[in-house]
A and B are shown apart, each in its own frame.
Chain A
């Protein structure tokens, strides 16, 4: 008798669970699709997301901290000493003793770990929101940030920005945080 009962209970269970499932799919079918039609619509890039690197070369002190921090060695920097008469400062007023004739980042190697931007003392190396930089030639993924090349490509104006040296801070003024510029 029990087995007969089980037989019909099984049948009922089958039909009932199918209906439950159909209810679920019906509900989901009425929901708004969450698809973002990518090339036309874009999702907002979250703040602090790690994408393409950018170096503001006018602030770079040539300290090589980023090159050393990079785990995949995608940053190549060469520096040369500036003459004593050259008075160039960063936007924060630090005197630049080194020129940076070569600052290459190979984005095809970059692993987006963000270690380079964290060690940068002048915060001139940053992660930007740009993330669509597919190219047809692998060589095009080597990004050059040295000033002469950027000037030649029209990315930077030829004139070097005339940043002023940081004023000698009084001991009292050093206690309160200075307003950051740039």
Chain B
């Protein structure tokens, strides 16, 4: 102890001097480089956030499912309600042997989990936690999210196919069919929002909802659009009741049957990160993003996401799995027509209200 304290003091002093000096240098950086630096720092923050997120949500899901089934869930690791359980699990996964099946396509097998994580990481770029806490405010933000979201399917398909396992391939095929089908209602339910906000930029969409003018209640069609988006995003996430790609009772574990250790945890991380991304998009697009009572800020954004994720977990532990044909019927016979009606209805409402109000754009809330 006698030696550690002065050493720590020395280290802190050294850090203070050098970091302070480095910060002083920041002023002399050219503007573009400074912007790049800020982007990198925010990006690094998001990366850390994204890696810690699944740890928390896996723990939360285990606790919630336990309570729903009258159990306690993890209680031991870390003392208070097993809050370190997922950390311990992650350490276990890190220590596991890195297995690649002999019959698998080595390169694709190794690439697939990276692609899956990359897809969910990429979606984080445009999530507007607050007006400034956003990695890049793309003017095609919403389109970008839907676009990179689809890369995840490639990862899943790649994983299933390269595993050279019948269950993996079946799961991957189901997953691809499901996700590609459910892209359509997602896009169609986002369409009215884009019409109302007049922009694809996520920040502009949130700013259009300032003052409790949430798009979820902008007109009678929007709650339906929100519902469709929520259901379809559940299907996109391969979560129960739409988890047929990894139906344990039919397909062992679906596309990640052959994966173990770190690669498997990558898929797991991607799944939970995707869950957050879906909730975040729903928050951005329908629930007013960072706006809330008292003060607008990232806390409100996170709170809304959190509520949606809890809802997803609640649904997961309530509903049984759909059959493949039921899943497709739900998409093509119910969600797609309903979302078309939504898009058409919301657009018509917008036009009619605008006409009645004398063409003043921006006042399309039916109560205002």
B70 to chain A: which residues have CB within 8 Å? 28, 31-35
B71 within 8 A of A: yes
What are the interface flags for B71-100 relative to A under an 8 Å C-beta threshold, 1 for contact and 0 otherwise? 110010000000000000000000000000
A37 to chain B: which residues have CB within 8 Å? 72, 75
B317 to chain A: which residues have CB within 8 Å? 25
A and B contact pairs by CB, cutoff 8 A, 9 listed: A11-B334, A21-B318, A22-B314, A24-B318, A25-B68, A29-B64, A33-B71, A35-B72, A37-B75
Docked pose: A31 CA to B334 CA in angstroms = 36
A7 to chain B: which residues have CB within 8 Å? 333
Could you tell me if B75 and A25 are in contact, using CB atoms closer than 8 angstroms?
Answer: no
Chain B interface residue count: which class?
10 to 19
B67 to chain A: which residues have CB within 8 Å? 28-29, 33
Q: CB within 8 A of A33: which of B66, B314, B318, B319?
A: B66
Docked pose: A96 CA to B184 CA in angstroms = 89
Could you tell me if A22 and B72 are in contact, using CB atoms closer than 8 angstroms?
Answer: no
Could you tell me if B72 and A28 are in contact, using CB atoms closer than 8 angstroms?
Answer: no
Docked pose: A34 CA to B71 CA in angstroms = 6
Q: Which residues B326-361 have CB closer than 8 A to chain A?
A: 333-334
A109 within 8 A of B: no
Q: CB within 8 A of A35: which of B71, B314, B318, B334?
A: B71
Docked pose: A21 CA to B318 CA in angstroms = 6
Given known A-B contacts A11-B334, A21-B319, A37-B75, A28 and B69 have beta carbons under 8 A apart:
yes
Could you tell me if A22 and B318 are in contact, using CB atoms closer than 8 angstroms?
Answer: yes
Closest beta carbon of chain B to A22's beta carbon, Å: 5
B44 within 8 A of A: no
Closest beta carbon of chain A to B312's beta carbon, Å: 12
Q: Which residues A1-31 have CB closer than 8 A to chain B?
A: 7, 11, 14, 18, 21-22, 24-26, 28-29, 31
Docked pose: A24 CA to B69 CA in angstroms = 11
B75 to chain A: which residues have CB within 8 Å? 37
A35 to chain B: which residues have CB within 8 Å? 70-72
Closest beta carbon of chain B to A27's beta carbon, Å: 10
Docked pose: A26 CA to B311 CA in angstroms = 11
Residue of B69, B317, B318, B319 most packed against chain A (CB within 10 A) = B318
When C-beta atoms are compared, the residue in chain A nearest to B227 turns out to be A15
B334 to chain A: which residues have CB within 8 Å? 11, 14
B315 within 8 A of A: yes
A-B contacts counted at CB < 8 A amount to 38
Q: How many residues of A contact B (CB 8 A)?
A: 17
Which residues does A use to contact B, with CB under 8 Å? 7, 11, 14, 18, 21-22, 24-26, 28-29, 31-35, 37
Docked pose: A26 CA to B75 CA in angstroms = 21
Could you tell me if A33 and B72 are in contact, using CB atoms closer than 8 angstroms?
Answer: yes
Closest beta carbon of chain A to B231's beta carbon, Å: 10
Closest beta carbon of chain A to B155's beta carbon, Å: 30
Docked pose: A28 CA to B69 CA in angstroms = 7
Could you tell me if A25 and B66 are in contact, using CB atoms closer than 8 angstroms?
Answer: no
Docked pose: A37 CA to B72 CA in angstroms = 9
Given known A-B contacts A11-B334, A33-B66, A22 and B315 have beta carbons under 8 A apart:
yes
Those 9 A-B pairs whose CB atoms lie nearest each other, nearest first: A35-B72, A21-B318, A25-B318, A29-B67, A33-B72, A25-B68, A29-B68, A22-B318, A34-B70
A14 to chain B: which residues have CB within 8 Å? 334
What are the interface flags for B307-322 relative to A under an 8 Å C-beta threshold, 1 for contact and 0 otherwise? 0000000110111000
What are the interface flags for B104-126 relative to A under an 8 Å C-beta threshold, 1 for contact and 0 otherwise? 00000000000000000000000
Docked pose: A32 CA to B71 CA in angstroms = 8
Docked pose: A29 CA to B333 CA in angstroms = 34
What are the interface flags for B58-69 relative to A under an 8 Å C-beta threshold, 1 for contact and 0 otherwise? 000000101111
A25 to chain B: which residues have CB within 8 Å? 68, 314, 317-318
When C-beta atoms are compared, the residue in chain A nearest to B333 turns out to be A7
Closest beta carbon of chain A to B345's beta carbon, Å: 16
Docked pose: A34 CA to B72 CA in angstroms = 8
B72 to chain A: which residues have CB within 8 Å? 33, 35, 37
Could you tell me if B68 and A28 are in contact, using CB atoms closer than 8 angstroms?
Answer: yes
Closest beta carbon of chain A to B326's beta carbon, Å: 10
What are the interface flags for B143-171 relative to A under an 8 Å C-beta threshold, 1 for contact and 0 otherwise? 00000000000000000000000000000
When C-beta atoms are compared, the residue in chain A nearest to B67 turns out to be A29
When C-beta atoms are compared, the residue in chain B nearest to A32 turns out to be B70
Q: Which residues B3-24 have CB closer than 8 A to chain A?
A: none
Docked pose: A11 CA to B231 CA in angstroms = 13
A26 to chain B: which residues have CB within 8 Å? 314
Docked pose: A24 CA to B315 CA in angstroms = 11
Docked pose: A33 CA to B68 CA in angstroms = 9
When C-beta atoms are compared, the residue in chain A nearest to B311 turns out to be A22
Closest beta carbon of chain B to A41's beta carbon, Å: 11
A34 to chain B: which residues have CB within 8 Å? 70-71
B318 to chain A: which residues have CB within 8 Å? 18, 21-22, 24-25
B66 to chain A: which residues have CB within 8 Å? 33
Docked pose: A26 CA to B315 CA in angstroms = 10
Closest beta carbon of chain B to A18's beta carbon, Å: 7
Could you tell me if B68 and A18 are in contact, using CB atoms closer than 8 angstroms?
Answer: no
